[in-house]
Chain A
Amino acid sequence: MSEARVPSQPATPPDPQPARRRHKWTMVVDLDRCTGCQACVVACQAENNIPLNTEAIYLQYRVIEWIRIERYWEKHGEEVRARYIPLLCQQCDNAPCEPVCPVYATYHNVEGLNVQVYNRCVGTRYCANNCPYHARFFNFWQPVWPSTLENQLNPDVTVRWRGIMEKCTFCIQRIRRAQREAAQEGRSLQDGDVVPACVQACPTDALSFGDILDPNSRVSRLAKDKRAYTVLKELGTGPNVIYLAKVDPYAPAPKKHDHH
């Protein structure tokens, strides 16, 4: 009964309203270009009103970095080299974090985004446990900013309270603004209209963002690259962040347990 075969790739979620699905936002990370400069991290911090990660917070292992650069040291014979991988919320199609939330505080919207509803969240932290990418962050403390910084808070982004989860939104405020502007100019959204803070800040152009449903967008082209892979594929989470493997004589196959 060969029709009983199912694809080894995880099934994409059933669209709630297929007619309404116009975009599927995707990010491509070219590891060959990434230098681990952390510019994306800072940009994200500034854009999204993320509380300051002080030394004390670091020592508590309670840093909030919607995008982070994971650094791994690899020993090749004598020389030791650093390898970087920027990790952020992968906006998974089969996001493990979504179904476990008892109050629907996180769910999948029609643009393929894994959205977080701050008002609903009661802070069970189950979603954080069930995120394989460690991409979800909990506000252990009430966020505070020195008075000098209070004026730099982004008015388009909620300031989160203590006791709730937060994570990368693909800068949904920028997506919405771009859509609004396009609508006002009476044109459809072009590739490159939406630029999340991290993408904007990346000096080596390692990050690119766009709509994978648009066949000739940049991300669609990059996604066809033979270096393309997704992290923790065997879990079948169906990430919407695609990585391009580092071109590196020493680089083993893009499996994840070649770190440390």
Chain B
Amino acid sequence: MAERGVLGLFTSAEAAASAGAALREAGVEFEVLTGSPYPEGAFGEHTPPHRLYVFPLVGALCGFSVAILLTAGTQLAYPLVTGGKPVLSIPPMAIITYEGTMLGAILFTVLGVLFESRLPRPLLGLYDKRITLEGWVGILVRGEEGLLGPVERILREHGAVEIKRG
């Protein structure tokens, strides 16, 4: 990638939060890397909106239609009377269609989760193991070389124990 990045590592969430606030005031976009979830906006970061809820709906629709076609099709294609039930029996269709709908919804939700959290990600990029191992908090800024200098200063001011360039 053309643009470079700087990653500041903090041992305490408080320090990282203050650094994040400072960066925000400086009008710098930044990413937070943590080893465990924090309440939204804990670091003053802003998370772009997601469209996760669309996925299950689409999936449900797909599953529903496939299941309807499959069940209705099978019954009509082989009009064998069993037990005096109508050749096109709705209740059994309802059951299998229900399962198909749910299956579609679940599959698409999982896809949606991966897509919306931008995974899979071939290259980790700027990262540090101690984020998961020691519970450190990383604050990552991407941008032009010129920008990164002041950013690094801000990070240090707020107690970044280590700075990574990449």
- Listed in ascending order, the chain A residues whose CB lies under 8 Å from chain B are 10-16, 93-101, 104, 106-108, 238
The 28 sampled A-B contact pairs (Cβ below 8 Å) are: A10-B84, A12-B84, A13-B81, A13-B84, A14-B81, A14-B86, A14-B87, A15-B81, A16-B79, A16-B87, A93-B84, A95-B82, A95-B83, A98-B81, A98-B82, A98-B83, A99-B82, A101-B82, A104-B80, A104-B82, A106-B82, A107-B80, A107-B81, A107-B82, A108-B81, A108-B82, A108-B83, A238-B84
Known A11-B84, A13-B81, A108-B82; 10 more pairs at CB < 8 Å: A12-B84, A14-B81, A16-B80, A94-B84, A95-B83, A98-B81, A99-B85, A106-B82, A107-B82, A108-B83
Interface centre among B81, B83, B85, B86 (most CB of A within 10 A): B83
Interface SS of chain A: helix, strand, loop or mixed?
Answer: loop
Residue B78 lies at the interface, judged by CB distance under 8 Å to chain A? yes
Measured CA separation A94–B85 after assembly (Å) = 8
- List, in ascending order, chain B residues with CB within 8 A of A10's CB: 84
- List, in ascending order, chain B residues with CB within 8 A of A93's CB: 84
6 smallest CB-CB distances across A and B, nearest first, come from A13-B84, A98-B82, A94-B84, A99-B83, A107-B80, A99-B82
Measured CA separation A13–B87 after assembly (Å) = 10
In the assembled complex, the CB of B9 is this many whole angstroms from the nearest CB of chain A, namely 59
Measured CA separation A193–B42 after assembly (Å) = 90
In the assembled complex, the CB of A34 is this many whole angstroms from the nearest CB of chain B, namely 29
- Nearest residue, chain A, Cβ from B83: A99
- Nearest residue, chain B, Cβ from A106: B82
- List, in ascending order, chain A residues with CB within 8 A of B79's CB: 16
- List, in ascending order, chain A residues with CB within 8 A of B78's CB: 104
- List, in ascending order, chain A residues with CB within 8 A of B80's CB: 16, 104, 107-108
- List, in ascending order, chain B residues with CB within 8 A of A95's CB: 82-84
- List, in ascending order, chain A residues with CB within 8 A of B81's CB: 13-16, 98, 107-108
Interface residues of B in 44-99 (CB under 8 A from A): 78-87
- Nearest residue, chain A, Cβ from B81: A108
- List, in ascending order, chain B residues with CB within 8 A of A97's CB: 83
Measured CA separation A107–B86 after assembly (Å) = 13
- List, in ascending order, chain A residues with CB within 8 A of B87's CB: 14, 16
Measured CA separation A10–B87 after assembly (Å) = 17
Measured CA separation A194–B120 after assembly (Å) = 71
- List, in ascending order, chain B residues with CB within 8 A of A107's CB: 80-82
Measured CA separation A14–B82 after assembly (Å) = 10
In the assembled complex, the CB of A119 is this many whole angstroms from the nearest CB of chain B, namely 15
Measured CA separation A94–B84 after assembly (Å) = 5
- Nearest residue, chain B, Cβ from A100: B83
In the assembled complex, the CB of A232 is this many whole angstroms from the nearest CB of chain B, namely 15
- List, in ascending order, chain A residues with CB within 8 A of B85's CB: 13, 99
Measured CA separation A97–B87 after assembly (Å) = 16
- List, in ascending order, chain A residues with CB within 8 A of B84's CB: 10-14, 93-95, 108, 238
Measured CA separation A83–B79 after assembly (Å) = 42
- List, in ascending order, chain B residues with CB within 8 A of A108's CB: 80-84
In the assembled complex, the CB of A48 is this many whole angstroms from the nearest CB of chain B, namely 23
Measured CA separation A108–B86 after assembly (Å) = 12
Measured CA separation A103–B25 after assembly (Å) = 69
Measured CA separation A15–B80 after assembly (Å) = 10
- Nearest residue, chain B, Cβ from A98: B82
Interface pair A94/B83, CB less than 8 Å apart: yes
Measured CA separation A238–B79 after assembly (Å) = 21
In the assembled complex, the CB of B119 is this many whole angstroms from the nearest CB of chain A, namely 39
- Nearest residue, chain B, Cβ from A15: B81
- Nearest residue, chain B, Cβ from A130: B83
Measured CA separation A147–B84 after assembly (Å) = 43
- List, in ascending order, chain B residues with CB within 8 A of A238's CB: 84
In the assembled complex, the CB of A31 is this many whole angstroms from the nearest CB of chain B, namely 27
- Nearest residue, chain B, Cβ from A104: B80
Measured CA separation A27–B49 after assembly (Å) = 73
